[in-house]
Chain A
Amino acid sequence: MALELLGTSVDRTLIVDDQDEAREAFAETVEDAGLTPVPDAGPLGDFDAYLTQTITSASAALCDQFLRHRNYARFDGALFVKSLYERSFPAVLCTHYDELIDDIRPFRRWIPSLQRPNELDADDFLAGLRVCLAEFDEAFAPHREPWRTQVKVIDVREDERRFFVEVPAWGPDIVPLKYVGVPEFITSELREGWRCRAYVNLGAEELVDLYVCDWEVP
């Protein structure tokens, strides 16, 4: 049941979720999208080996964020989807993310499609894959395109390994960030009022979609 999406043939779709029933439920959505679901019952083993296995055995993936509740995986879905993206492999992260967005944001630049389970229908899934494939060709949707801009540090909580920034070109909202993925040459300089440059998707309409990446020393 291969589909041609933006010139790429997509068929076998890996379903990564530590819960049997959830995998089955996602499989039905993938099937209705016209693709072949490949639910993985785990355990997923070594991260790098699993990435390689995914890329060689499937052409897309649908993944949950929480994978550690059981002895299923030793990594989170966001890291997995991000790593697939870096290998030009389309994947959708599907989770109730409202409470988790601070954990997901460090990887958001490489997660074009983040969807809630109650909003992910077959067409939405295909649309998510298309967004990924378009980004692999540097074609960004307006709300995803990164722009070099100034970032101002508002507060630093070293003990919690978090900090808060404002992106003046985006809006007045305070953006909570974790140290995860932020280079050491930035985290070692962080202090209230400090400014530097980074790439931010200034077209993001909501805070949940915002990412900050490619930090630069001023």
Chain B
Amino acid sequence: MSEASLRFSSEILKRLGEELNPNPDQGIVELAKNAYDADALNCEIELHGISSAGGRIRIADDGDGMTLEQIRNGFLVLGRSGKDARKETRLGRIPSGSKGLGRLAALRLGHEVDVQTLPLSEVEARHALRIDWRRFESEDLVEDVMLEIDTAPRGRRKKNGTTIELLDLRSRMTRPDVKRLARSLILLADPFSEDPSGFRPKLRTAEFEDLEALVSARYFEDADFHLIAEVDAEGKASARAVDWRGEELFAGDHEAISTGRRGAPYALPSTRFDLWIYRLAREAFSGRTATVGEVKEWLGAFGGVHLYVNGLRVAPYGNKGNDWLEMNLRRAASPEERPSTNTALGRISVSDETGCLQQKTDRSGLIENDVYEDLRDFGKETMDWLARRRLEHAEKRRSAARAKTKAQSQVSKESVERQIEETPDPKRRKSLKSAFTRYDNSRQSEADRLRREVQLYRTLSTAGITAATFAHESASNPLKVIDQSALTIERRAKRALKDDYSSTLAAAVGKLKKAARAVGVLASVTLTLLDRESRRVGRVELHSVIRGQLSTLKPFLDGRDVKVEADLASGDPYIHGTPAAVESIFTNLINNALTALESSSADQRRVVIRTELEEDGLVVRVMDNGPGIDESQISLSDIWLPGETTHDTGLGLTIVRDSVTDLGGSAEALASGELGGAEFVITLPILGQ
């Protein structure tokens, strides 16, 4: 039997260094973390001649330095997750627990590294180490290169600490690299805390000084809300929100916060979440020393929720573009009372004494284990809780405003009635009284109509939301089973029946597949109509919206044997508005025509949409060959009123009228138009064509 051992090719250094941690800023931040682990209070980073290859980076700290033993068995050992990693340092810090791979990446930024260290425990000693990476390139194995550590008495420099110089840089650092490094260093040791003795790494560049000035601005007192949430040793959460004076607005316990997890505790070590939320409106800042612009700039640089584990920041959480708590997504889904990364700044601080939160080897964040998932849930659920409380508060405010308006209206009415009573001339008084009663009755009837209209809109919104939910469910669940089962029946039946398949089952399976496709199309139509994109204001090309609507509704139209002809004027007339408003007009007019055609005896059911460019704008005619509007049943002016038509919701034409009015246009109905049925004439002012 012979023995052998695993050995590492020199190329492993490249694999584990620059390839695993490709960004220079990440590596340098790892060296700053080493300084933190060595109890340094200061760590200065200087960049020299970095705009081209061959430059130099110097990292100097005032920490405890390294003994010969620590250099040999710590600094030069790669990939070890030290057993003492969680042991508190002299200053009570929990070491960041680096595996040394980020350090390797940083050290390999240059062709050479020079390390000078003056250890606290050896008051007269100074150790120096130089690594020339080119030597490794000419050797096959890592262990073939011996490194020399030179120990000598301290010279003039007596202060403890370590200085590392990365010499003859392999590549240049760009301005974005430097900017990113400055931001990472500023944020590394919680610059938002009030601990003046904390660790403060510094980068000697203009970019850093600008950011440092910005971070020190500390606009916390300008926040409208400060959310403070904690998880205790039992995993139970609590939260409170205070206003800018520190006065409590809302408070919640674990049950109120953790609604999604039915009260189960969070599997987290001691954790605290601070979030400062700002209302960035000009009027909100009147009378304050800070301006909206200043706070916006500050939030622009540092906004989002940063994660600190044992006092040091873990990237990329809270970086620009990293919205790990989905603040922006949730705000986009429900904008009221929700912060975004542009309107809030926060930090989650975890005291992780047991090391349950582990960073990935490539430093791209934490390993996504159950503890991490709980941490994220805690952050999200706390913000959900605050949003619920704020919404509840806003609703109370709205109710109070509604009650106040009603009361004010009653007071005004009584005041007018009193004034009328005081009119000396009895004849004049009677006539005024009668006129006012008529006015009041019509106002009341207008208010009733608006209430009904609002109720109808709410009912339809609910129907829309339910339809959207169903559309998702139907697309993802039962339809999938139907589709797959139909294919299985077809496949197996063909195999079992061979030639008999086409005469026995083929038609039935074909119908099944066709029906499933139709259901799928109907589900997707609902989702298309609810597309958020169509509610954004911008340039809307009317003809393309009309064509799009006809394409979306085609399955319905085909299913009802209705032929739709689009006779559109030449050019692309456009307006400034939302596609949703234009879609509302045409979807409802087409729906209206489809309903009318149910009573048609025509052989070929037809709908024509014709557009003509006129001086006033675009005139759109939507006409059908149905029975037309029966004026003995409803007047042409009443068809636009909510609930007045004899079919469906009675709201379609009201929505058409409202949408047309919103776009500055006009709508008119003809009882019997060019095709014999109803004809609607919509005029929309256009911006161009």
Which residues of A does B touch, CB under 8 Å? 19, 21-22, 25-26, 28-29, 32, 46-48, 64-66, 69, 74, 94-96, 98-99, 116-118, 120-122, 158-161, 179, 182-189, 217
Contact = CB atoms under 8 A, between A and B. Distances in A.
B563 interface: no
A121 B483 CA distance: 10
A186 B487 CA distance: 44
A96 B485 CA distance: 15
Given A99-B475, A159-B331, A185-B180, A25 B481 contact: yes
Contact of B475 (A32, A96, A121, A185): A96
A64 B480 contact: yes
Contact of B491 (A26, A65, A121, A183): A121
B476 interface: yes
B513 A25 contact: no
B320 interface: yes
A121 B320 CA distance: 44
B392 interface: no
B480 A117 contact: yes
Contact of B487 (A64, A98, A120): A120
Nearest to B326: A161
Contacts of B331: 159
Contact of B321 (A25, A47, A122, A184): A184
Interface in B286-331: 316, 319-323, 328-329, 331
18 contacts: A28-B488, A29-B488, A32-B488, A48-B368, A99-B475, A116-B483, A118-B483, A118-B520, A158-B342, A159-B328, A160-B332, A161-B323, A161-B328, A179-B321, A183-B321, A184-B319, A188-B176, A188-B319
Contacts, number: 106
Nearest to B25: A185
Given A96-B475, A184-B320, 11 more contacts: A22-B484, A25-B480, A48-B368, A64-B476, A96-B520, A99-B524, A117-B479, A117-B483, A161-B332, A179-B321, A185-B23
A95 B367 CA distance: 28
Interface in B491-524: 491-492, 513, 516-517, 520, 524
Nearest to B532: A160
Nearest to A179: B321
Contact of A188 (B174, B320, B369, B476): B320
Interface of B: 23, 174, 176, 180, 316, 319-323, 328-329, 331-332, 340, 342, 367-370, 373, 472-473, 475-477, 479-481, 483-488, 491-492, 513, 516-517, 520, 524, 527
Contacts of B373: 46, 74
Contacts of A47: 368
Contacts of A179: 321, 323
Contact of A96 (B180, B476, B492): B476
B174 A217 contact: yes
B491 A117 contact: no
